[in-house]
Structure 1
Amino acid sequence: MLVVIAWFIISGIFGPLFGKLSSVQENNNSSFLPKGAEATQASEVIQTFSGKDTFSFPTLILFEGAVKPEALANINKHMAGVGALTLEGTDKTISEYLAPGQVISVFPSQDGQAILANVPLDGNSIAEVLPNDKPVLPAVVEALRADIKPLAEANGVTHYVTGPAGLLGDLFGAFGTLDSSLLLTTLGVVAIILIVVYRSPVLWIIPLLSALFALSTAGGIVYLLAKRNIIDVDGQSQGILSVLVIGAATDYALLLIARYREELHHHESRFDAMRAAYKGVWEPILASGSTVSISLLILLFSQLTNTAGLGPIGAIGIVCAMFTILTLLPALLLIFGRWIFWPRIPRNDGDDHVLEGMWSKVGNGIGRNPRRAWVISGTVLLLFAFASTTLKADGIGTVDTFTGKPESVVGQKLLLKHFPGGEGDPTQVVVSAEKIGAVTAALKNAPGVTQVAPQLDGIPVQGQPLPAVKIVNGKAILNLTLDKAPDSVEAGNDIPEIRKIAHAADSTSLVGGTSAVYYDVRKANDRDNKTIIPIILLAITIILGLLLRSIVSAIVLLGTVVLSYFATLGVCALVFNHVFGFAGGDNSFPLFAFIFLVALGIDYNIFLMTRVREESQKIGTRAGVIKGVTVTGAVITSAGIVLAATFAV
């Protein structure tokens, strides 16, 4: 009872903090890059031009329809006043979040079929949290959409809030579901699976409650670390934390409860049964949790701070799941006694019920012809593994990350029909003041560049001479408009050649902006895939070798998991390409897939092999293997289904 009380106290402390976790999210790609990345260095210089430690984050509003002088004048006049709009539920206005030194601009397309308005936001302030606990960016996007709608209707045009701010605002909304509806859906799915597994109307509550205690504790700890800028949290890592903790905690709970039920058939006292069960499961739970945690911590070697941040975030979640299941769950099971298994209450009858059923037939079947079993399963996995070569995971634009078609995605695609892809969100090149002319001339012929213009020291006024080029500390900025969407893979592919040309004309030049950021992120991901995966493989091999006391067994087990990894990539390629028709995948996908498939997949090998080792010492190797498969088969299958379901949600 003291253990349960202690957990309620812990949850009371950390639970409310978990509810605030979304308020410390950072979802700007540029903030994840290492200091040495060229886009980061360029950003630091560009910030000096505004006199503040910030950057411009454009919100593009597309008005599609025939451009009429009256409509253009109305939109121009209206957009000049959108800074006064109040954000819903607060007394804050959009003007408080506009980029310093920049103005809202409105201009028609050359084809006369669209008008584009650019509302430049302060890149730092959009990540702030409003008094109503809502992030600034989606609130600004919503306010603009609500305000622009009657304007567009009155002028006979359609409107779309898009561009980097519109897309990221919708991504905020997509990841926001991870904080609420996705979490509830995950819990619901896991609850249904547990009810089916246990065939009990009450038992499922105990492991699910334990998982929630683990999640609230882990979320509270992560919030405190992120609040102090020790780790970075983005929408993706927060969502992964939820499903990871619930999935892992439920897996560990399934193992403990299955062994406890088994021991209740051999002990009159439930305390003796729990003692025997605990002795049999603490080692595999500790070993598997440690393996996953260490694998996740290796992500700290990543060059990207959000990927590196996921390492400790995930490790904290796994440790909390492991600690909760090894402390709170046994206490709850002992408090409620045998009746919690109703209607299938295990009696002290000495029967080995787990040796009956489907997995008994599977185990004996493998025992009769082990070679046929591994040849068939290995062949199937190899066939799928070959399909992994068709996986498209070399990067993906923001537009293609949405499975649906929110307004920002539709608007971005329509924008490309009327304006150059980089309109309103230029690639920025920092150059020496004396090299402006040379670099400008060179970049006009660079691939993908449609326009090169220096940043001016003031706002152009029609009929007046242009302001002088803005010079700060001997540096100037050239704004390059690309012919592709700035956050697309294609635009990123032009960056290396643009940099080569710029560096040839000015060796001190720096190329930054959205396209450069996305390219540098892709380059960092490629580096992570090549360095982190081998380190994780080495770490898991060492851990398995220590656990199994055999390096050969460790290598064999690791080989099965790696084969499963490539087979899974092959299945993903087939499903992504031919079922869902996805445009592709982010180039971080292989690393994350490896982490969750290999590090978590090794859990099931540990569950199986620790039981096989235990039984082999009692009844011999062959019989021990068959019994190990028989008694853990249902647990591993259920655990795999739970984990798959949590990630599938």
Structure 2
Amino acid sequence: MKNVIQKFSQLVGGRVGRWVTLAVWVVLIVILQLFFPNSSEYTDDTIEPLPSNAPSMEASTVIEEKFPNNDGFPALVTWYREDGITEEDLKLIQSLAKSLENNELQYQEFAVPYNQMPIPALQEMVSEDGTTFLQPILFQNGTSPEDVKGDLVQLEERVETQFNVVPFNQDIDSAELVARVTGPAGISVDATELFENADVSLLIGTVLLVLVILLLIYRSPILPFIPIIAVGAAYAVTTPILGWLAQSGYISYDSQGIAIMTVLLFGAGTDYCLFLISRFRQFLYEEQNNFQALKKAFMDTSGVIAISGLTVASALMALLISKYATIHNFAIPFGLSIFIMMISSLTLVPALLSILGRTSFFPFIPRTNDMEERRAKRKNKKVKKHKQSRFWHHIGEFAAKKPIRTAILTLLLLLGSSAFVTQVNYSYDILSSFPEDTPSRQGFELISDAFGSGDLAPVQVLFDTGGKNINLQDKLSGLEGVSHAEEPQVSEEDDHFVMYQIELEKNPYSNEGMDDLAQLKEDIDLMNIEEDLNGLWVGGQTAEQLDQRNVVESDETMIITLVIVIISVLLLVYLRSITAMLYLVATVLISFTSALGLGWIILHYGFGVPAISGLIPIYAFVFIVALGEDYNIFMISNIWERRKTMPLKDAIREGVGQSGGVITSAGIILAGTFAVLTTLPIQVLVQFGLITAIGVLLDTFIVRPLLVPAITSLFGKWAFWPSKQMNVRQVETEKRVK
């Protein structure tokens, strides 16, 4: 195997091979960029996340078939005046309705003909407090958010040019007439706008952050560009391939997935580059020949980079088993980007280091002692000998000599913060993730205050009566959690089908609303059985959110189990130690629970966030566990290697000492890139970025340098069971840690 690695290092980093490798990457990037579509051209933010067999999706299909006139993509134009809607305001609304009737918007399907109703009839539709009026507009099913946005912009322009008012731009606290668009169509438009250009802004922010951190760590104006070029090359290869796969219909992804992929690629990719760069720098102090130093560094780190990349890529591909499309669609972009980044780290980075050699680290160029002596003699200066920092050696020595104390202190911190996981509240309400000044969120709050939030998203209950002449309105209105049920609508397509619109007492987007609906569905099912009807379907936004919660919770169990199995198998294959595999997996799991607990403390108690997105546990788990295992592999490999020639406690000290600096640098960069997500206006990404960054920092400064070495020291030779390393002879030397 060593011969294969040596030949490969010659192939990618030799005098000829380095230029061939660079040329291959350049040609590949040019071809892909010129002839393949870009991933951003095929982002689809309209993907239905629920599987087609989810109860709410089946209800939606039946409603679409039996009640086509009720079908459509609704936008609710919410008119509001603090001092009360006036007659002049209602005339304006009538004029707009007439305009929509005579000159329909491009994707308009239906607009309520308020222009055909007398003013007194409209006054009856104003909220009880007199402040709010709703004007529904249905868009054609399947209309994209971009197309809806175009129609809404035209709608605003009509109001402003024809009626000389600007209600859509008025502040919500204004005494003037205010208008906001909410409902499913308005929410989808705002969601798309929030993600618009997120990948570009994240790309710029992440690149700048990585450059600054690398400049501060290595104090070289050249070195930071090596990982940036390598990651940029991987990005330039990945995005056209994703675009081609999406164009061909093989995969789907949304803006959120591409945004997170950008952060993942630059964060994890820079880590892989640093593994090789740091070891190359170390060997340059020992080897005069640049290529010999590079070959040794490649021999030491190529296996670690390969197994780390495969571990992360495999864990991310586990998302393919998710039934929830948003999570499922992350798998290919994330897994592919990490796999290509691994290849870049093993080919392009060595080629660049071979081309630049010691110049990579200018002006603090690493030289051997002989080289420094000759240089000093030429310049008549005092010899500057390289002194390696011993800070991380001392940390490793402390963990090895006092393993019980170290384990207890670190576990108290980690378990203490993990205890808060039981207090975390989860939300499946997309509106709660929007900034407070988002139009659709403001419109929803206006409706909630004036009409009750249940009016915004009614529950649709559909019965197949089998021809029976029954009216269940009173029974439905009397069920617990129901504010009221409207008169039944009979299908024009099939008069056996009757639909009731039900308004919930509680916010239909809240956990309480979903809990009420879960009980309500059981009550309605009993009603269906009692009346001996032929079928029952429950649809609407709350029903979809309830299905989302159920599907995500099911996915969470399956994905967490599969990721643990994948990582365990890969660790077992690489380390050949069941004991090490068990405690290394356990440490990243406690990193995850601790990060989730600390994240909740910061978000809930620090910023007053009432609940975090229900998707966060899956997102954070996969990234914290998979990426955390990278650091486990890198550090434990150092300990394993040194264990062959020295006592275990010495091996721990030297292993932590050798890996501590690079893991710290990599961890800071990785945490920083995820922290960039907190600058976006989307709360789900803010929460995900914060919790993942906390998990990475816990791995970097607590778990890897302290807890893992302490556990390894406590187990002693049993840490290697049943591998051959367990039987390595303990050589007593003067270097043994006292």
Q: TM-score, normalised by structure 2?
A: 0.78
Aligned to 1:63, which of 48, 73, 79?
Answer: 79
Structure 1 residues 23 and 446, CA, compared in 2 at 3 Å: closer, same or farther? farther
* 1:80-108, Cα deviation, whole Å (9 max, x unpaired): 425899xxxxxxxx723224x66576853
Pair 1:569 & 2:596 matched: yes
Calculate percent identity across the aligned residue pairs: 29
Pair 1:215 & 2:248 matched: no
Pair 1:44 & 2:76 matched: no
* 1:248-303, Cα deviation, whole Å (9 max, x unpaired): 11110111110111122222222222211111111111111111111112222212
Pair 1:384 & 2:417 matched: yes
Pair 1:136 & 2:158 matched: no
Match of 1:597 in 2: 624
Please give the alpha-carbon distance, in whole angstroms, between the structure 2 residues aligned to 1:169 and 1:38: 26
Match of 1:98 in 2: 108
Structure 1 residues 325 and 417, CA, compared in 2 at 3 Å: closer, same or farther? same
Tell me the amino acid that sits aligned with residue 368 of structure 2. Answer: N
Whether the 8 Å contact between 2:101 and 2:111 is mirrored in structure 1 is: no
Number of residue pairs matched? 619
1:105-120 equivalences in 2 (<5 Å): 107-120=125-138
Structure 1 residues 475 and 614, CA, compared in 2 at 3 Å: closer, same or farther? same
Please give the alpha-carbon distance, in whole angstroms, between the structure 2 residues aligned to 1:473 and 1:607: 68
Q: Secondary structure at the match of 2:453?
A: coil
Please give the alpha-carbon distance, in whole angstroms, between the structure 2 residues aligned to 1:312 and 1:540: 18
Q: CA deviation at 1:484?
A: 4.3
1:366-385 equivalences in 2 (<5 Å): 366-385=399-418
Q: Secondary structure at the match of 1:96?
A: coil
Report the structure number with the largest CA radius of gyration. 2
Whether the 8 Å contact between 1:355 and 1:627 is mirrored in structure 2 is: no
Tell me the amino acid that sits aligned with residue 552 of structure 2. Answer: N
* Aligned-pair Cα RMSD in Å: 2.8
Q: Secondary structure at the match of 2:611?
A: coil
Match of 1:365 in 2: 398
Match of 1:607 in 2: 634
Q: CA deviation at 1:469?
A: 4.8
Q: CA deviation at 1:519?
A: 0.9
Q: Secondary structure at the match of 1:125?
A: coil
Structure 1 residues 544 and 436, CA, compared in 2 at 3 Å: closer, same or farther? farther
* 1:286-343, Cα deviation, whole Å (9 max, x unpaired): 1111111111122222121221121222111110111111111111121222112101
Structure 1 residues 197 and 488, CA, compared in 2 at 3 Å: closer, same or farther? same
Aligned to 1:400, which of 405, 408, 432?
Answer: 432
Pair 1:266 & 2:286 matched: yes
Pair 1:24 & 2:39 matched: no
Pair 1:291 & 2:311 matched: yes
Q: CA deviation at 1:422?
A: 3.6
Which segment drifts farther, 337-346 or 221-230? Answer: 221-230
Whether the 8 Å contact between 1:454 and 1:476 is mirrored in structure 2 is: no
Structure 1 residues 471 and 112, CA, compared in 2 at 3 Å: closer, same or farther? farther
Which segment drifts farther, 104-113 or 283-292? Answer: 104-113
Match of 1:240 in 2: 260
Q: Secondary structure at the match of 2:75?
A: strand
1:136-535 equivalences in 2 (<5 Å): 136-148=147-159, 150-151=164-165, 153=167, 156-349=176-369, 355-393=388-426, 395-423=427-455, 425-432=457-464, 434=467, 437-453=470-486, 469-472=491-494, 474-503=496-525, 504-505=527-528, 506=533, 508-535=535-562
Please give the alpha-carbon distance, in whole angstroms, between the structure 2 residues aligned to 1:637 and 1:231: 36
Which segment drifts farther, 623-632 or 157-166? Answer: 157-166
Q: CA deviation at 1:175?
A: 1.6
Q: CA deviation at 1:147?
A: 4.7
User: Structure 2 stretches of 5 or more lacking a match?
Assistant: 1-18, 115-121, 373-384, 677-738
Q: Secondary structure at the match of 1:108?
A: coil
Tell me the amino acid that sits aligned with residue 237 of structure 1. Answer: G
Tell me the amino acid that sits aligned with residue 136 of structure 1. Answer: D
Q: Secondary structure at the match of 2:279?
A: helix
Match of 2:674 in 1: 647
Match of 1:11 in 2: 29
User: Structure 1 stretches of 5 or more lacking a match?
Assistant: 86-93, 128-134, 457-467
Please give the alpha-carbon distance, in whole angstroms, between the structure 1 residues aligned to 2:422 and 2:87: 54
Q: Secondary structure at the match of 1:112?
A: coil
Please give the alpha-carbon distance, in whole angstroms, between the structure 1 residues aligned to 2:499 and 2:106: 25
Q: Secondary structure at the match of 2:509?
A: coil
Whether the 8 Å contact between 2:447 and 2:456 is mirrored in structure 1 is: no
* 1:499-552, Cα deviation, whole Å (9 max, x unpaired): 223333245111112111111001111112222212221221121111111011
